[in-house]
Structure 1
Amino acid sequence: MSECTENPVSSDSIDDPVCVRLDHLVDSTSRRHPDAVALETADGHTLTYRSLVVAAERVCHAVAGSGVRIPNRIGLVASKSVEAYVAYLAILKLGATIVPISSRAPLAWQRTMVQCAGLSLILADPKSWAGARELENLAAVSLVPSPTADPAPDPVPFAREEPQAAGEATAYVLFTSGSTGRPKGVPISHANALSFVRYIVDRHRPGPGDRMTQIFDFSFDPSIYDLFVAWGSGATLVIPGPTDVIHPVRWVSSRRISHWMSVPSIISMAAALRELPADSMPSLRLSLFCGEQLTVEQAEAWMRASPAGTIENAYGPTELTVTVTAHRLAADMHTWPRTSNGTIPIGQPYPGHDAIVVNDGRETDEGELCIRGAQRFAGYLDPQENAGRFLRAVGGHLEPLRENCPPKPDDWYRTGDLVRRDGDGTLTHLGRLDSQVKIHGFRVELHEIEGALRLHPEVIDAVVVAISARLGGAELAAYILGGEVDPRELRAMLVEILPEYMVPPRIRRLEMFPLTSNGKVDRPRLASMATEIGARRAEGRS
């Protein structure tokens, strides 16, 4: 099995002290590998690194030449088109912060992001132009010019609103819903992002000739891995078509993918469709999974399909810049660690980061994961969101920061994730703190039930949701992927493992889980489905 070092890449651009912004990395790569392919879209369009930079400079020229003052933040509403990638780089080259807005997000959500970010200018590619114009009453919307291989015009001087020091300037702002459902803006600086990219390029060793996936939407932070680990190393970014990710073997084989990154749900979907045969993806050197818990069953299925590659399970909330811990699996599956919930550990923090596990204000081996270090953001766009999200050591105690108390670099970010730390410091993700529900007065961890369901040989994957019961309180509903199995058999198995109050009264088999736009299991949709089924049963319609 590869140790991800077969293709050493010159790290001149990564280590160059002059590269203090993400766009500087791309410029440096363009100088070193001008004719290497930087981008390959699903419809066959390609751009070399030279062409990518020239096209981005043309967009800069068009925006600056319009005579407007370049705002500190520029929105991008775009699909995965050539124009979108060019515009992404152009916004950074203009010295502005990019605020990606998913073209598939509800209009109300888009409007909220525009208002929270204070956007006065939004760029849109042709495919997203009509939808983006719905925002014209909030900001100026401009169409991205078509890329061209012609030489870029001479730079046009332009005025910035409030220029910042390059390294400390904000590279991008992404919005997360958190547990409240209200968008929270997460600003990530160039320094945060470069710390991540530099380490990952050294860890994964991509380079010219390698072909990396770009599955995630621009509004989801793993896209930063896709874009800048590729563009900082000279690899090719390969864009999937609408159905390619659901059929990974076909796509990986046809496009000769060497580096894969996605959420683990993709594995379950492919396995459920019986499209993950052994030795079917020999080109893969590295497969990285993040965004959800990676189960042992999922990892084993992917390993059998790509035996020549390495698998890593990575973890990190948006606030900690893409991923901040990782666990690399050994070639021998028999040596893999066995955890209480049947998932692969998330590993240990990257160098330059500290992690503590906290329960009731004290360090422990099972509790909330809190991290600080070079990738930790400096605080939310709305400072009021910082209250309670950071911990500070005060007189030997850990205390949450109060409202209007800005975080310091030594403060820990509270991830809201429940973990267990082993003796060697390896972390296992146990679930979200807000995934705890009360059933008949007992506190229940949904991930424990999911892990128990996956013990059945016919179950490929399982998701458990809590919905409102007819007579008040909460009720459990479980969904599984896999072979035909009687729900009564599953419940009988669970009774032998779990307390009776943790056994879902309803277990339903699906052909596929509904997914969000970023490939994660759509848990709210599953909860809605369970509620609808319960309502029909109550009315005697099913």
Structure 2
Amino acid sequence: MRAPEILAAAFAAWPDRTALFSGEGPGISYAELDRATIRLASRLQQAAPGNGRVYVLGHHSIEATTAALAVLRSGLTYTPLNPELPGARIDSIIEELGGGLVLACDERWQDRGEVPARTEWRRLGAVELAETAADAAAGLLPDPGLAVAYSILTSGSTGEPKPVEVGHEGLLHLCRGQSEALEIGPGDRLLQFASLAFDASIAEIMVALHAGATLCLPPVTDGGWLASVTAFLRKNPVDFATLPPTVYRLLGASAQRNIRTMVFVGEALEENEFLLAQSHGRVLNAYGPTEATVCATIGELKKFSRSVGYPLPGFSLYVLDETAPGGGLSEQGTGELVLCGPGVALGYHGRAREAFGEHTGLRTYRTGDVVTLGEDGAVVFHGRQDDQFKRLGHRISRSELENRWSTVLGRAAWCVRRDEEVVLVCEQDTLASDLLEKLRRVLAPWEVPNDVRQLAQVPLQASGKLDREAIEQLLEAAPADEPPPAQTLVAQVELIAKGVLGFTPEADRTIFDQGADSFTFVTLQVELGKVYGDELVESIFTKLDFDFVSNDFVHTLHELTQAPDSRAIPGPPAPSAQDEAEDSFLLSTRLLEEFEAGLTTATRPSTTASATGVVLTGARGFIGGHLLNRLLSAERDVVALTSSDPASLPVEHTRRFGGPGQVPAVAMTDVAGGDLLAGRDVIHSGYTVNHSLPLSAQHTRNIIPTLDLIRAACEQGARRFVFLSATSSGPSFRKWGREAWDACQDPYSQAKLICEEGLHRARRFGLDVTVLRLPLVYGHRPADQAFLENNVFLGVVRAALAVGALPETTGAFPLCHVDTVTDAVLEALESPGTERFVSEAVVTAQSLAGLAPGRLVTLLAAAWLARVEAAGVMAPEMLTRVRQVIPMIGQPEDGEPDGVALISAALRTIGAAR
């Protein structure tokens, strides 16, 4: 099946579904996209050049995406070009490929004077696309049968940009393999992030349409592409996004939360990004050079690892082993990865096969990447074996970069990498800013260095070769700049802020009152970190309660660096820990007062009336899933509220619990302004459990959504509201105040307490409220395995057994089975509101010791945590959470059963789940 057939089949299968969505209106249906592409493809076939090559110059627009699909549908060779490249580079690429037809979809390039020989340049915007759809013939000419489906530029194995030619068979394997691996289906929403000039866009577009999904294309705003994507995701949840870890990190919490399945590509995945993405949904890691039709391996990660999954259909994987029989290829071991099969590209246009070859009659490609192939076929990526590295999404070679710099500047230049930055080193001659400006005029953005450092004499080895080690030592030994005067520092900080905000912020006002949002704040933190150091800037923002006021920032910067003129800038003294806690409490009180001021009294149904209607949040979670299953079994009229795709919830629930999966689901955003909650019971179990998040992040993820739901319950006349809180909020239900606040030992518990108080205030407006404080919950089924990775209780027990010691605690772990929780919730639906703990037992250090008598000793909490950290038996994220719950709260009550039996039962269910 060739590219035209793949697209034709997709258009025919789902004519009424939405194919393209840009955030406004109903989007473009498959039928509409069918008509637009078939007509434009027909025109392209009629105007096709002799080599059958059509270039698309543009990205991130409906017009460019439609043009790309039309070229692929025509059977001609689709060749996207990056409009960010200098004009001379674009012309040289077209000349190398033998000319062709250019569809200029980017307004900067729609009008050209001279163009390369054998090249026809055509404008394609919204108006031209409409004219084409109106006057072109509706039928396609026969598929020209070209072997190459698309050509796309890559740095290849040498760093020199070269066009990779990919066949139709590889494209078919990509569509089928990724659709199956990602579990993409009709109606799913897939983000289109990559520029058309990157091969990742091929996967995003073709896989989405092959599966009947909706391709979400964010409209471009003045803030740039990343800001456009962030703004789109805040309002439009997607089921799938494919992004490099660096990009994901910069999206911001509200956008990250709206990605149900995150596929990481392009860079090595770090644990922080994995844990963050995992808190919102599925996480997959993928690998594939351009020479492998975008993607060669992919796999879902349940816990952090360096694995990039398993090979997709169309690939066999080997490592190069000169000692192995049969051509030096081995199916296991560590070495350079060699890809083999129909998924491998056809080769480089007009060049020697270089890294391409054959094995058992199939194409092969030597990737230059070092991996380990396990016995089960899993692939662990280790890095490059040469001097290549990724920068701004492009793989480039140090030697090639040095060659380009030297050619442009007309002088010797060398490349030195310092952490994530690329530094150009040369002998002293002229202003560094002049050199940078000359490079920016000629080179692509990913080829321009971050900085230029000029040396009086460049060190050489005895052989005459450059001594790179000596250069790096010289850069490290260079004296740090003296702290600038206060006035210069103010100007410097204001200049950085203006570059991010687009205006100079007022010196004494928070940027959040001047139109900034959380994404802008994160971007500003990154830019300030480049100048003053990430750790120092983070310390400053911590002192400023994660806010930015120019004068306060400068004052704190002086204070922390002990600059001699720190008194030159007036500013508030650094707050003490007690002051910060007081501020957080007062801010939370103010939030609750504003919340209460917006509440309204609605007509309430009788709390004694019989009702079966239930609205449930958190059905994708461990407890929420079990609640949903019980409600369905009891034949309750239940509706699940979800912050991600409602259509996927029944599938996930069926996968966990079996059954037909008839689960009515509604998007959380559809609740406001309606009457969904009228006369129904609301069970709110949808809460991100993360003790390590600061209170500011808890506001975004947990507090505000909960208060919004409480407000809607009041306005719409809900029958009652059951809130699943946490025992960590304190040992007793106190009236709102400092005493109750101080009893909470971490921001997560404080967030729960704020939500409880919001319910107390809603009770004054007639809402029937039940608050159930839950302990650590066990009872995991095999299908609940993913929820075990963040289980604090299990983490403590595992670490204790690993290091042979237990933490000495002043309190206890309350513990109960998930069935006990669901029983308590169902009971709450049948009785007036109340507040209570739900617990079967409390577990102390003494009862934990019963797990292994005579082997486990008890240590002070600090000493135990130090031993666990030194042994490396607990993930850093889990260690952070455990620090915040030790010493454990709560006290054993008389008559409760011994904890040992319950621990054993909990471990049995945990073991069965695993």
Calculate the TM-score normalised by the size of structure 1.
Answer: 0.67
Distance 1:418 1:235 in 2: 35
Name whichever structure is richer in helix by fraction. Answer: 2
Look up the match of 2:312. Answer: 350
State yes or no: 1:327 paired with 2:299. yes
Look up the match of 1:495. Answer: none
Look up the match of 2:248. Answer: 267
Instruction: Please give the per-residue CA displacement for 1:491-514, whole angstroms capped at 9, x wherever unaligned.
Output: xxxxxxxxxxxxxxxxxxxxxxxx
Instruction: Please give the per-residue CA displacement for 1:468-501, whole angstroms capped at 9, x wherever unaligned.
Output: 9xx9998652249xxxxxxxxxxxxxxxxxxxxx
The structure that has the greater radius of gyration is 2
**How far apart are residue 183 of structure 1 and its match?**
2.3
Spell out the pairing of 1:267-416 with structure 2 (5 A cutoff). Answer: 267-270=248-251, 275-276=252-253, 281=256, 283-304=258-279, 306=280, 309-330=281-302, 333=303, 336-337=304-305, 344-360=306-322, 362=328, 363=330, 365-384=333-352, 386-387=353-354, 389-390=355-356, 409-416=361-368
Selected match of 1:478 from 397, 414, 419: 419
Q: Which amino acid aligns with 2:310?
A: Q
Look up the match of 1:443. Answer: none
Instruction: Please give the per-residue CA displacement for 1:188-238, whole angstroms capped at 9, x wherever unaligned.
Output: 111110011012112223233221111111121111111011111221111
Q: Is 75-84 or 41-50 further displaced after alignment?
A: 41-50
Spell out the pairing of 1:57-136 with structure 2 (5 A cutoff). Answer: 57-63=38-44, 71-125=51-105, 127-130=107-110, 135=115
Look up the match of 2:12. Answer: 31
Does the 8 Å CA contact 1:288/1:313 hold for their aligned counterparts? yes
Q: Which amino acid aligns with 1:477?
A: R
Look up the match of 1:177. Answer: 155
Gaps of 5+ in 1: 1-19, 338-343, 394-407, 437-445, 448-464, 481-521
Look up the match of 1:216. Answer: 194
Distance 1:300 1:540 in 2: 38
Distance 2:187 2:23 in 1: 18
**How far apart are residue 82 of structure 1 and its match?**
2.0
**How far apart are residue 91 of structure 1 and its match?**
1.5
> Quick one: higher RCO (CA 8 Å, sep 6+), 1 or 2?
1
Distance 2:187 2:341 in 1: 33
Inter-CA distance 129–285: structure 2 relative to 1 (3 Å threshold) = same
Inter-CA distance 61–380: structure 2 relative to 1 (3 Å threshold) = closer
Distance 1:322 1:420 in 2: 20
**How far apart are residue 93 of structure 1 and its match?**
2.7
Look up the match of 1:206. Answer: 184
Q: Is 69-78 or 230-239 further displaced after alignment?
A: 69-78
Look up the match of 1:501. Answer: none
Distance 1:315 1:222 in 2: 11
Inter-CA distance 194–132: structure 2 relative to 1 (3 Å threshold) = farther
Selected match of 2:385 from 422, 433, 439: 433
**How far apart are residue 113 of structure 1 and its match?**
1.9
Distance 1:477 1:34 in 2: 52
Selected match of 2:369 from 410, 413, 417: 417
Does the 8 Å CA contact 2:78/2:151 hold for their aligned counterparts? yes
Does the 8 Å CA contact 1:477/1:530 hold for their aligned counterparts? no
Distance 1:476 1:154 in 2: 55
Q: Which amino acid aligns with 1:195?
A: H
Selected match of 1:54 from 22, 35, 41: 35
State yes or no: 1:237 paired with 2:218. no
Inter-CA distance 33–183: structure 2 relative to 1 (3 Å threshold) = same
Inter-CA distance 37–533: structure 2 relative to 1 (3 Å threshold) = farther
**How far apart are residue 92 of structure 1 and its match?**
2.3
Distance 1:298 1:312 in 2: 12
Distance 2:299 2:116 in 1: 45
Q: Is 144-153 or 227-236 further displaced after alignment?
A: 144-153
State yes or no: 1:146 paired with 2:146. no
Q: Which amino acid aligns with 1:345?
A: S
Q: Which amino acid aligns with 1:27?
A: A
Does the 8 Å CA contact 2:101/2:120 hold for their aligned counterparts? yes
**How far apart are residue 248 of structure 1 and its match?**
6.1
Distance 2:184 2:413 in 1: 54
Secondary structure in 2 matching 1:90: helix
Inter-CA distance 419–65: structure 2 relative to 1 (3 Å threshold) = closer
Secondary structure in 2 matching 1:258: strand
Does the 8 Å CA contact 1:79/1:127 hold for their aligned counterparts? no
Distance 1:370 1:213 in 2: 30
**How far apart are residue 239 of structure 1 and its match?**
1.4
Gaps of 5+ in 2: 391-397, 403-411, 422-444, 457-473, 482-914
**How far apart are residue 426 of structure 1 and its match?**
2.2
Look up the match of 1:254. Answer: 235
Inter-CA distance 423–126: structure 2 relative to 1 (3 Å threshold) = closer
Inter-CA distance 64–318: structure 2 relative to 1 (3 Å threshold) = closer
Selected match of 2:21 from 36, 40, 57: 40
Inter-CA distance 157–71: structure 2 relative to 1 (3 Å threshold) = farther
Does the 8 Å CA contact 2:199/2:294 hold for their aligned counterparts? yes
Calculate the TM-score normalised by the size of structure 2.
Answer: 0.41
Look up the match of 1:192. Answer: 170
Does the 8 Å CA contact 2:19/2:30 hold for their aligned counterparts? yes
**How far apart are residue 429 of structure 1 and its match?**
1.3
Does the 8 Å CA contact 2:298/2:310 hold for their aligned counterparts? yes
Q: Is 128-137 or 76-85 further displaced after alignment?
A: 128-137
Distance 1:125 1:474 in 2: 35
Q: Which amino acid aligns with 1:265?
A: T
Does the 8 Å CA contact 2:102/2:121 hold for their aligned counterparts? yes
Secondary structure in 2 matching 1:59: helix
Does the 8 Å CA contact 2:40/2:136 hold for their aligned counterparts? no
Inter-CA distance 539–325: structure 2 relative to 1 (3 Å threshold) = closer
**How far apart are residue 27 of structure 1 and its match?**
2.2
**How far apart are residue 114 of structure 1 and its match?**
0.8
**How far apart are residue 328 of structure 1 and its match?**
0.8
Percent of pairs identical after alignment?
26
Q: Which amino acid aligns with 1:276?
A: A
Secondary structure in 2 matching 1:197: helix
Does the 8 Å CA contact 1:57/1:152 hold for their aligned counterparts? no
Look up the match of 2:838. Answer: none
